[in-house]
Amino acid sequence: MLKHWIWLTTRKGVGTRGCAQLLRLYGTAERIYELRERDYAGTEGFERRWLEGLLDKSLDEPERILTECDNKGISLLTYADEAYPMRLKNIADPPAVLYYRGTLPRFDEEVTVGVVGSRRCSAYGLLHAKQFSKLIAASGGVVISGGARGIDTMALRGALDSTMPVVCVLGCGVDVVYPRENKTLFREIEQHGCLLSEYPPNTPPERGNFPVRNRLISGLSLGVLVVEAPEKSGALITAEHALEQGRDVFAIPGNIGVKHCEGSNRLLREGAIMVENGWEVLRDYQPLYPDKLSDGRSMESMHRLFQARYQKALPVFSPVMLDDRGDKKVVDNPAPKHYSDEKEDRPALSADEEKLLSTLTDKPQHADVLVSESGLPAQRVMAALTLLQIKSLACKLAGNHYQRKFE
């Protein structure tokens, strides 16, 4: 039961590594809860410092946490659940419970990239954090980052310019907004991806939580991109976790003699992969995930990628494809209706794209408003908006606002 898993993770003196070891020894949280002192004795690998916490069988705190989750719309995923990412199971100390808001991507099926860097960073770092993440997401990758100021925030903002889900791993409860200025950003992520944490609701952003949290960013990722980091940085901790977990480590070269870049430049000297754009991060994964990735620097390439992905997930999209010459053609689908005031050669649109185009106006509208007025799920709205941008029928403005483009 969920309460037993929460009980295990809240045992004093056990910690994340202790929980992982106990699960290796005894299998499930229910089994661990049922054991008594004599059952623990003599078990190889069991540490006596865990005993006091494990002998406290009160379920008051787990039941309170479950009530909090229910009241705040927080979902839980346990180590025993089928949907628990295998990538995370394979690290040394996977969390027994994950709390999240939003929709979990199928991590094991996606090309996930952790994008990290320093809170105190330069304009150079902020610019590349956004640009790299935007291209990674446009090329079909899933960006994972923390929610801190600086590089993390800009990486998440860049990734939100795509239909791909975005994942923010927090060092506090998913109901706690930290930093406060990211309240709107977290709301957008919750609607177009998920907020994720191993900490129960109401957990404050304590200093010691963040180095522990970093192993999840790397553990969920195929590779970690360090944008900009000084010699002492949480981003370097994440890179260390990535190396221990057998993940790839990428880094962007920074200016020599600048403190903000000393740590990331050192990673390059020690063998990290130097990259100059987001596609270079993904390029070597394409043979392993041929239907997931395409160079986002090419509009035609992006269009093929979106059609390949959403034609299966969202049957309402018309199967618009490209022929050998790169021209668009529509297969097994009647021509969509056109608005009388538009050119007859307007690109073919799916039902969702038609719906969104009729909802858009010449005045900026927030994505939340478009979701509400169209009556479509948020993921389908974002997918349709991206395709409308590719077809030059809509444009995205600051603050997740969209506007129709008129000839």
Q: Strands (DSSP E) along 300-355, which ranges?
A: 320-322, 328-330
- Residue 144, strand partner residues: 114, 167
Other beta carbons within 10 angstroms of residue 132's beta carbon come to: 28
Percent of the chain with pLDDT over 90: 65
pLDDT score, position 345: 55
pLDDT score, position 380: 82
- Residue 284, strand partner residues: none
Residue appearing with tokens 């907004």: 177
* 351: confidence class by pLDDT, cuts 50, 70, 90: confident
H-helix or E-strand containing 387?
helix 378-390
Instruction: Name, in order, each residue with C-beta under 8 angstroms of 107's C-beta and a sequence gap of 6 or more.
Output: 85, 87, 88, 142, 220
Given a cut of 70, whether residue 340 has pLDDT beyond it is no
Edge-to-edge strands of the sheet including 223-226? 75-78, 97-102, 193-197, 166-169, 142-145, 112-116, 223-226, 248-251, 273-274
Q: Are 320 and 348 in contact (CB under 8 A)?
A: yes
Say which CATH architecture domain 107-285 belongs to: 3-Layer(aba) Sandwich (3.40)
Instruction: Name, in order, each residue with C-beta under 8 angstroms of 176's C-beta and a sequence gap of 6 or more.
Output: 170, 201, 202, 203, 204, 205
* 102: confidence class by pLDDT, cuts 50, 70, 90: very high
Given a cut of 80, whether residue 337 has pLDDT beyond it is no
Using the CB atoms, write b or e for 267-283: b if 16+ within 10 Å: bbeeebeebebbbbbbe
pTM of this structure: 0.77
Average pLDDT, the chain: 87
Helices (H), 223-315: 234-244, 259-269, 278-282, 299-313
How do 193-197 and 97-102 pair as beta strands? antiparallel
* 395: confidence class by pLDDT, cuts 50, 70, 90: confident
pLDDT score, position 182: 96
Please report, as a single letter, which amino acid is at residue 395: C
Instruction: Name, in order, each residue with C-beta under 8 angstroms of 214's C-beta and a sequence gap of 6 or more.
Output: 116, 146, 234, 237, 238, 241
pLDDT score, position 168: 98
* 298: confidence class by pLDDT, cuts 50, 70, 90: confident
Given a cut of 80, whether residue 310 has pLDDT beyond it is no
The fold of the 299-404 domain, in CATH, is Arc Repressor Mutant, subunit A (1.10.10)
Enumerate the CATH 3.40.50.450 domain ranges in the chain, comma separated: 107-285
pLDDT score, position 406: 64
Residue 77 CA to residue 100 CA, distance in Å, equals 8
Enumerate the CATH 1.10.10.10 domain ranges in the chain, comma separated: 299-404
Backbone dihedral region of 364: left (phi > 0), alpha (psi from -120 to 50 degrees) or beta?
beta
Residue 238 CA to residue 219 CA, distance in Å, equals 9
* 315: confidence class by pLDDT, cuts 50, 70, 90: very low
* 334: confidence class by pLDDT, cuts 50, 70, 90: very low
pLDDT score, position 319: 34
